C-alpha cells in the first residue's frame, strides 16, 4: 500500500517508541496507515471494529482496536509481536519499589425502558418507535464513543466510555448493530495491503490515498502473493494475475454483526435489522487463515476435524478458531461454511461471551463491591484498648488486645469481658411456635420452661450440622434463639423458610443487628454483676430480663469458656456505656477483655466445637460426638429421616479430642496412623493450654478402626475424652 | 460522579424507633404519634421511627403474639433532591416515581432503605455498616 499524507501535523502519537504525526480526527489506525505502515503485521483491515487485525497495545492496554481509538497527543502505541500476544505487564515485578497506585474508574448508571445498541437505520427506527410509545430510550453507538462491552442478565448493558463506565439497566435491549463485511480467506490473506470496501472508503474520506489498488470480488479471488509481508499480486480464479500495492476485496454477502446478541438468551433482548438477517454462507475455505486473531488456518481446522472434533463448538475449542479478540467477527461465516461443507449441515453460530471489547481490570471491577464487613457498637472501644481487629463471620472482631495469654488468665482466674454482639439473635412468637421449634431442632423444646434455655444443634435435611446455638424460652409462646456469628444470616432464612413452608402461625424477628451482647465470664463474673446492680444473677441455663449498670439487658447464663458466663444482650445504643461501666466496676477484680484468640483456646479446653472450623459440610451429630443433643425419640425434626436411615451404618469419620506434648500443631496438619505411616485425618483446631501444660486439639480420624494414639508433626498424640478442663462443669456453675 | 463536591454532606443520626412483627391487620390498626414515620418493611413487619413500644399497644391488642421491640440499630440521613439524584447513579434498581414510597435493596454492597417523601428522602442504613458509607456512597455526600 502506498499512501501519501496530505499535510504534516504537529500532533504526534508514539508508535513503537517513534513519534508519528496524525491529522485532526484520525484514529490511531488512520495515523499508522497514513505513514505507510500496518497497525499489526498483516491481515485484512475493516476499520469498523469488527476484526482484531488493527489491534495493538494502546496506553498499556493490549488488544485495543486502533481503528476505534482516537489519536491524541503523545498516545503510546505498541504493535503486538509478530508471534504470540503482547507481553503481560507486571509493574510490581518490573520494579517493586514503584507499585502503581490503584486505578479507580467512575461508573454512571442509567435506568431506561429501552436501550438501542447501534444507530443504524433499524436502530433509529426502533428508538423512534419506542419514544413515540412514551418509553424512555437510550441509543448507544460506537460512533459516539459508546464501546458496548457486553449484555448481561437483567438485562444490563455495560458500556465503556472514554472517562467512565456506563451501566444501563433497561426493560428491553434492542441490538441493531448491522452487518459486517466478509474478509477473504485464501492463500496470502495475512499479507499487508488488503482492505474491505468500507475500509477503503474510510481511508479515502480521511485523505489517505491508495495507490495501485485493485478491487476484486471475493468469489473471483483465488489467492494473494507478496513479498516482505506486503501484497503485490492478486490472482483470480480465472488465472489472471493483477499487480498491485493494495487490494480491496468486496462481496455481495455480509455477516450479521451479532456478537452482543450471542451473549444472552434473555427474552427482553431483541435483534433487529441486518444484525438479525440470515445471510448465505460463503464457499467453504480451501486455504489460508480463517481466524486471524488466533492464527488458525484451514489446515488447522482440517487437523482437528480429522481427530474427531466434528461439531462447530468442538472445532472452535480444539482449534481456538473464534476465541480471539473478535469472537468470530471475522471467522464465523468461514468456520460455519467449513463445518457445513464437511458435515453436510449448516451449524448455528457459537455463543459469544463478554467482553466484546478489550477493557482493563479496573474497568471490569468498577463499582463492584463486596458486602460490607460490619462493626459492632464496641468497635472503637476495642481499638482504644489496643485490640488487633480481624475479620470473622462477616464482622470485624478483636483477635486479641495484645496479650492473649493474659486474656486467657483473666477468664480462668478473675473476670473478663468479651464482645459477642455478632451472635445471631432472633425472637419467635406465636401460637405454633413450640411446634415450629420442635420441627426445626433435634432436641426437645416443649419441656423448656420459661426462664430456662437449652443448647441446640441445627441440622439440614441430610442430618448434617449447619449451626448451633441456644433456645431460650421467654413465655409459653415466645422464645429467643441464638446462632453462630457466621451462620446468623443463613439461619434467619432457614427458620423463616421452614415456618412459611409448614404454614405455621409464628412471627419471626431477627435481632442480630439490633442487639449488642457482652459476655461477662470468669469466676468473679457473678461478683461483677452484683456490683452492677444484678443482685441475683441467673443460675446455669437460666435467663432473666434485668437492668445491669442501668442498662436494660436480657441476661443469659451459659458457658462457652468453661467458667461462669453471663451474656448481656442489650440495645446497641447502650453498649458503650455498659462496657465502660463494667470495666470500671471490675478494675479491682483484675478485669481484662478477651479476644477471639483466647476464646478459641478457652472453649477448646472445654471441648466445644466451632461450626465450620471443627465441623465439615457433612458432619452429623454422631461424627461430632454430639448424639446427646439429638432426641431420636421425637417423631420428626429436620434431618431425622436421614439420621434414622444411616444410624445402623458403620461410619468411618469421627472428631476426637486429643492431647500431645509440645507446641500446638497447625490447623489442618495431617494426622498419621503411625510414624511415617498413612494420613488418616487432620487437625481441626489446636491450642497449647497454659493451665494444663500440654497441647489439646480436636482432630478428625477418617479411617476405621479409630486409633487411640496417632502421629502429628512427628509426635504422638493420644485420644482423650473431652472436656479437657473441668469435666464436671463445676466452674461454669460457680 | 460529577459535581459531588457541590453536594451537602450526609448527616446521619441514630433513629430511635419501635420494630413490630405482627399480623398485618394488627399493624394497620395502630395509630402513631404526630411526627412518627412508619416504614412498612413488609406486610407483617414495620419500623416506626420516633415511636416507642408503648405507642404500639394497639398492635398487641389485636395480635397478642406480636413482637414489639425497641429499635436503635438504624442510622438515618435526610437527602435533598440533588443528593438523591447523585445516589440514583449508584443504584442497580429503579427508584419508584410515586411519592410517598419505600425502596430497599443493596447499593454498593450496603443494604439500604429509602423512605421517599414528596420533597425529601430518608436514607436508612444499619449502624453496623455506617463506617462503609463514606467509601461506598461518598459521592452522594
Average pLDDT over chain A reads 94
Q: Name the DSSP letter for residue A82.
A: S
Number of C-beta neighbours around residue B61 at 10 A = 12
Is residue B42 helix, strand or coil?
A: strand
- Whether B123 shows a pLDDT value over 50: the answer reads yes
Cis check: omega of the bond before A723, within 30 degrees of 0: yes
Using the Cα atoms of residue A63, residue A66, residue A69 and residue A71 in order, give the sign of their dihedral. positive
Name the residue facing A372 among B70, B95, B109 (closest C-beta): B109
Per cent of chain A over pLDDT 90 is 88
Reported pTM: 0.80
Name the residue facing B129 among A109, A374, A572 (closest C-beta): A374
CA distances B101 to B76, B122, B124, Å, are: 16, 11, 14
Contacts of B88 in chain A (CB under 8 A): 109, 111
Do residues A724 and A657 touch, judged by C-beta distance below 8 A? Answer: yes
B-facing residues of A in 154-173 (CB < 8 A) are: 156, 167, 169
Contact B65 A109 (CB under 8 A): no
Distance of CA B128 to the CA centre of its chain: 15
Rounded to whole angstroms, the Cα distance separating A472 from A451 reads: 7
Contacts of B90 in chain A (CB under 8 A): 107, 109, 367
Which grid cell is A311? 461439531
Would you state the pLDDT for residue A2?
Answer: 45
Contact B73 A111 (CB under 8 A): no
Residue B90: pLDDT band (50, 70, 90) is: confident
Do residues A99 and A92 touch, judged by C-beta distance below 8 A? Answer: yes
Rounded to whole angstroms, the Cα distance separating B44 from B46 reads: 7
Rounded to whole angstroms, the Cα distance separating A524 from A412 reads: 10
Would you state the pLDDT for residue A548?
Answer: 98
User: pLDDT digits over A280-293, tens only?
Assistant: 999 999 999 999 99
Rounded to whole angstroms, the Cα distance separating A86 from A96 reads: 21
Q: Which residue of A has its CA nearest to B109?
A: A371
- Whether A304 shows a pLDDT value over 50: the answer reads yes
User: pLDDT digits over A223-259, tens only?
Assistant: 999 999 999 999 999 999 999 999 999 999 999 999 9
User: pLDDT digits over B104-118, tens only?
Assistant: 999 999 999 999 999
Number of C-beta neighbours around residue A111 at 10 A = 18
CA distances B39 to A1, A401, A429, B50, B62, Å, are: 71, 40, 21, 11, 20
Q: Put residue B25 in one of left, alpha, beta given phi > 0 → left and psi -120 to 50 → alpha.
A: alpha
- Whether A297 shows a pLDDT value over 60: the answer reads yes
Number of C-beta neighbours around residue B11 at 10 A = 9
Would you state the pLDDT for residue B140?
Answer: 53
Question: What is the residue whose three cell numbers read 453436510?
Answer: A344
Cα atoms in the Cβ-side hemisphere of radius 13 Å centred on A488: 23
Would you state the pLDDT for residue B135?
Answer: 85
Mutate to test the interface with A, among B41, B65, B85 (most CBs of A within 10 A): B65
Contact B69 A509 (CB under 8 A): yes
User: Which of A454, A468, A464 lies closest to A424 in space, CA to CA?
Assistant: A468
Contact A109 B92 (CB under 8 A): yes
User: pLDDT digits over A575-600, tens only?
Assistant: 999 999 999 999 999 999 999 999 99
Would you state the pLDDT for residue A550?
Answer: 97
Name the residue facing B73 among A108, A509, A514 (closest C-beta): A514
Do residues A20 and A11 touch, judged by C-beta distance below 8 A? Answer: no
A607 strand-pairing partners: none
Per cent of chain B over pLDDT 90 is 75
Which grid cell is A326? 473478535
Residue B5: pLDDT band (50, 70, 90) is: low
User: pLDDT digits over A310-329, tens only?
Assistant: 999 999 999 999 999 899 98
Residue B4: pLDDT band (50, 70, 90) is: very low
Residue B18: pLDDT band (50, 70, 90) is: very high
User: pLDDT digits over A343-361, tens only?
Assistant: 999 999 999 988 888 888 8
Rounded to whole angstroms, the Cα distance separating A320 from A177 reads: 25
Contacts of B66 in chain A (CB under 8 A): 429, 507
Q: Which residue of B has its CA nearest to A169?
A: B92
Alpha-carbon distance B44 to nearest alpha carbon in chain A (angstroms): 8
Name the residue facing A372 among B14, B66, B132 (closest C-beta): B132
Beta strands in A106-176 (DSSP E): 107-117, 137-140, 147-152, 156-160, 165-175
Contacts of A372 in chain B (CB under 8 A): 109-110, 129, 132, 136
Q: Which residue of A has its CA nearest to B45?
A: A509
Q: CA angle, A439 as apex, A433 and A441 as ends, to 5°?
A: 95
Do residues A438 and A510 touch, judged by C-beta distance below 8 A? Answer: no
Inter-axis angle of helices A433-440 and A488-502, to 10 degrees? Answer: 120
Rounded to whole angstroms, the Cα distance separating A629 from A456 reads: 7
B1 touches chain A (CB under 8 A): yes
B104 strand-pairing partners: B113
Contacts of B91 in chain A (CB under 8 A): 109, 111
Which grid cell is A320? 481456538
User: Which of A733, A445, A513 lies closest to B130 in space, CA to CA?
Assistant: A513
Would you state the pLDDT for residue A90?
Answer: 67
Cis check: omega of the bond before A200, within 30 degrees of 0: no
A-facing residues of B in 99-128 (CB < 8 A) are: 108-110, 126-128
Contacts of A505 in chain B (CB under 8 A): 65
User: Which of B117, B112, B106 lies closest to B127 in space, CA to CA?
Assistant: B112
For A628, phi then psi, to 5°, come to: -60, -20
Alpha-carbon distance B34 to nearest alpha carbon in chain A (angstroms): 24
Which residues have C-beta within 8 Å of that of residue A258, sequence separation ≥ 6?
A175, A177, A271, A275, A276, A349, A352
Region A64-90 average pLDDT: 89
CA distances A499 to A15, A429, A459, A480, A629, Å, are: 67, 12, 15, 16, 22
Distance of CA A71 to the CA centre of its chain: 36
Rounded to whole angstroms, the Cα distance separating A717 from A407 reads: 27
Contacts of A514 in chain B (CB under 8 A): 19, 69, 71-73
- Whether B59 shows a pLDDT value over 70: the answer reads yes
A511 touches chain B (CB under 8 A): yes
Name the residue facing A371 among B22, B93, B109 (closest C-beta): B109
Number of C-beta neighbours around residue A123 at 10 A = 23
Region A592-613 average pLDDT: 97
Which residues have C-beta within 8 Å of that of residue B2, sequence separation ≥ 6?
none
Region B34-40 average pLDDT: 96
Rounded to whole angstroms, the Cα distance separating A216 from A224 reads: 11
Q: Which residue of B has its CA nearest to A571?
A: B72
Contacts of A513 in chain B (CB under 8 A): 73, 126-128
Rounded to whole angstroms, the Cα distance separating A38 from A51 reads: 14
User: pLDDT digits over A688-697, tens only?
Assistant: 999 999 999 9
- Whether A300 shows a pLDDT value over 80: the answer reads yes
Contact B131 A375 (CB under 8 A): yes
Would you state the pLDDT for residue A551?
Answer: 98
User: Which of A543, A591, A590 lies closest to A568 in space, CA to CA?
Assistant: A543
User: pLDDT digits over A641-686, tens only?
Assistant: 999 999 999 999 999 999 999 999 999 999 999 999 999 999 999 9
Contacts of B22 in chain A (CB under 8 A): 507
- Whether B139 shows a pLDDT value over 70: the answer reads no
Q: Name the DSSP letter for residue A245.
A: S
The better pLDDT of the pair A278, A82 is held by: A278
B71 touches chain A (CB under 8 A): yes
Region A606-630 average pLDDT: 96
B84 touches chain A (CB under 8 A): no
Q: Which residue of B has its CA nearest to A427?
A: B67
Would you state the pLDDT for residue B2?
Answer: 42
Q: Which residue of A has its CA nearest to B125?
A: A513
Contact A507 B94 (CB under 8 A): no
User: Which of A152, A146, A151 lies closest to A166 in space, CA to CA?
Assistant: A146
Region A254-274 average pLDDT: 93
User: pLDDT digits over A362-373, tens only?
Assistant: 999 988 888 889
The ipTM, to two decimals, is 0.94
Rounded to whole angstroms, the Cα distance separating A435 from A230 reads: 83
Cis check: omega of the bond before B41, within 30 degrees of 0: no
Mutate to test the interface with B, among A507, A512, A576 (most CBs of B within 10 A): A507
A571 touches chain B (CB under 8 A): yes
**What is the three-state SS of A702-726?**
CCCCCCCEEEECCEEEEECCCCCCC
Amino acid at each position: 500500500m502506498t499512501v501519501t499524507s496530505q499535510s504534516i501535523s504537529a500532533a504526534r502519537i508514539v508508535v513503537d517508541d517513534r513519534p508519528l504525526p496524525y491529522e485532526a480526527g484520525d484514529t490511531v489506525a488512520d495515523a499508522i496507515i497514513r505513514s505507510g505502515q500496518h497497525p499489526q503485521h498483516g491481515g485484512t483491515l475493516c476499520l469498523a471494529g469488527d476484526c482484531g487485525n488493527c489491534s495493538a497495545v494502546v496506553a498499556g492496554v493490549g488488544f485495543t482496536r486502533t481503528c476505534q481509538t482516537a489519536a491524541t497527543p503523545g498516545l503510546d502505541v505498541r504493535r503486538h509481536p509478530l508471534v504470540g500476544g503482547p507481553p503481560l505487564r507486571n509493574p510490581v515485578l518490573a520494579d517493586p519499589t514503584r507499585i502503581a497506585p490503584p486505578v479507580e474508574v467512575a461508573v454512571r448508571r442509567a435506568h431506561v425502558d429501552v436501550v438501542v445498541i447501534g444507530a443504524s437505520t433499524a436502530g433509529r427506527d426502533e428508538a423512534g418507535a419506542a419514544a413515540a410509545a412514551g418509553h424512555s430510550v437510550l441509543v448507544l453507538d460506537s460512533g459516539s464513543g459508546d464501546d458496548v462491552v457486553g449484555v448481561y442478565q437483567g438485562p444490563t448493558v455495560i458500556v465503556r466510555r472514554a472517562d467512565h463506565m456506563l451501566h444501563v439497566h433497561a426493560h428491553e435491549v434492542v441490538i441493531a448493530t448491522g452487518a459486517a463485511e466478509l474478509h477473504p480467506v485464501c492463500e496470502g490473506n495475512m499479507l499487508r495491503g488488503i482492505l474491505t470496501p468500507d475500509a477503503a472508503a474510510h481511508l479515502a474520506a480521511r485523505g489517505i490515498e491508495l495507490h495501485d489498488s485493485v478491487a476484486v470480488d471475493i468469489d473471483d479471488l483465488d489467492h494473494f502473493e507478496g513479498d516482505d509481508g506486503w501484497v503485490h499480486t492478486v490472482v483470480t480464479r480465472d488465472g489472471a494475475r493483477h499487480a498491485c500495492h493494495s487490494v480491496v476485496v468486496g462481496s455481495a454477502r455480509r455477516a450479521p454483526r451479532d456478537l452482543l446478541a450471542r451473549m444472552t438468551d434473555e427474552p427482553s433482548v431483541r435483534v433487529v435489522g441486518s444484525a438479525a438477517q440470515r445471510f448465505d454462507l460463503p464457499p467453504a475455505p480451501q486455504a489460508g487463515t480463517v481466524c486471524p486473531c488466533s492464527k488458525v488456518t484451514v489446515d488447522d481446522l482440517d487437523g482437528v476435524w480429522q481427530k474427531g472434533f466434528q461439531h462447530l463448538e468442538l472445532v472452535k475449542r480444539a482449534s481456538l478458531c473464534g476465541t480471539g479478540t473478535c469472537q468470530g467477527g471475522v471467522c464465523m461465516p468461514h468456520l460455519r461454511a467449513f463445518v457445513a461443507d464437511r458435515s453436510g449441515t449448516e451449524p448455528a453460530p457459537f455463543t459469544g461471551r463478554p467482553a466484546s471489547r478489550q477493557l482493563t481490570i479496573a474497568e471490569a471491577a468498577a463499582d463492584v463491591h463486596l458486602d460490607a464487613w460490619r462493626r459492632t457498637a464496641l468497635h472503637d472501644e476495642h481499638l482504644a484498648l489496643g485490640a488487633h481487629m480481624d475479620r470473622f463471620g462477616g464482622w470485624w472482631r478483636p483477635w486479641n488486645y495484645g496479650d492473649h495469654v493474659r486474656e486467657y488468665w483473666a477468664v480462668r482466674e478473675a473476670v473478663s469481658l468479651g464482645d459477642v454482639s455478632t451472635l445471631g439473635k432472633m425472637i419467635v412468637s406465636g401460637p405454633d411456635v413450640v411446634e415450629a421449634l420442635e420441627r426445626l431442632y433435634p432436641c426437645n423444646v416443649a419441656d423448656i420452661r420459661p426462664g430456662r434455655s437449652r443448647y441446640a444443634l441445627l441440622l439440614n435435611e441430610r442430618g448434617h450440622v449447619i449451626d448451633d446455638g441456644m433456645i431460650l424460652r421467654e413465655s409459653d409462646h415466645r422464645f429467643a434463639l441464638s446462632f453462630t456469628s457466621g451462620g446468623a444470616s443463613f439461619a434467619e432464612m432457614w427458620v423463616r423458610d421452614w415456618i412459611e413452608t409448614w404454614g405455621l402461625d409464628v412471627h419471626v424477628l431477627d435481632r442480630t443487628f439490633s442487639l449488642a451482647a457482652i459476655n461477662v465470664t470468669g469466676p468473679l463474673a457473678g461478683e461483677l454483676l452484683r456490683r452492677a446492680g444484678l443482685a441475683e444473677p441467673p443460675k446455669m441455663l437460666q435467663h432473666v430480663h434485668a437492668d445491669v449498670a442501668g442498662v436494660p439487658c436480657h441476661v443469659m447464663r451459659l458457658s462457652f469458656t468453661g467458667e461462669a458466663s453471663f451474656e448481656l444482650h442489650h440495645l446497641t445504643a447502650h453498649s458503650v456505656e455498659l462496657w465502660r461501666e463494667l470495666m470500671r466496676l471490675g478494675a479491682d477484680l483484675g478485669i481484662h477483655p478477651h479476644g477471639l484468640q483466647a476464646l478459641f483456646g478457652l472453649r477448646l479446653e472445654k471441648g466445644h466445637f466451632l461450626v465450620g472450623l471443627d465441623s465439615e459440610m457433612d458432619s452429623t451429630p454422631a461424627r461430632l460426638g454430639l448424639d446427646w443433643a439429638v432426641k431420636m425419640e421425637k417423631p420428626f425434626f429436620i434431618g431425622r429421616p436421614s439420621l434414622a436411615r444411616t444410624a445402623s451404618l458403620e461410619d468411618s469419620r469421627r472428631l476426637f479430642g486429643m492431647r500431645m506434648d509440645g507446641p500446638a500443631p497447625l490447623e489442618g496438619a495431617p494426622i498419621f496412623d503411625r510414624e511415617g505411616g498413612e494420613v488418616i485425618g487432620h487437625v481441626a483446631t489446636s491450642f497449647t493450654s497454659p493451665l494444663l501444660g500440654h497441647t489439646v486439639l480436636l482432630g478428625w480420624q477418617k479411617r476405621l478402626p479409630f486409633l487411640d494414639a496417632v502421629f502429628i508433626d512427628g509426635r504422638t498424640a493420644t485420644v482423650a475424652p473431652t472436656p479437657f478442663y473441668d469435666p464436671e462443669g463445676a466452674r461454669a456453675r460457680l | 460522579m460529577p459535581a459531588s463536591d457541590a453536594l451537602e454532606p450526609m448527616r446521619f443520626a441514630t433513629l430511635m424507633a419501635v420494630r413490630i412483627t405482627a399480623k398485618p391487620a394488627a399493624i394497620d390498626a395502630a395509630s402513631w404519634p404526630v411526627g412518627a414515620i412508619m416504614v412498612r418493611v413488609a406486610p407483617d413487619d414495620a419500623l416506626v421511627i420516633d415511636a416507642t413500644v408503648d405507642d404500639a399497644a394497639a398492635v398487641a391488642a389485636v395480635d397478642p403474639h406480636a413482637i414489639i421491640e425497641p429499635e436503635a440499630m438504624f442510622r438515618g440521613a435526610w437527602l435533598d433532591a440533588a443528593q438523591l439524584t447523585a445516589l440514583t447513579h449508584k443504584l442497580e434498581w429503579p427508584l419508584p416515581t410515586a411519592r410517598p414510597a419505600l425502596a430497599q435493596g443493596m447499593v454498593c454492597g450496603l443494604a439500604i432503605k429509602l423512605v421517599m417523601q414528596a420533597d425529601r428522602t430518608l436514607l436508612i442504613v444499619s449502624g453496623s455498616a455506617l463506617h462503609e458509607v463514606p467509601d461506598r456512597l461518598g459521592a452522594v455526600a
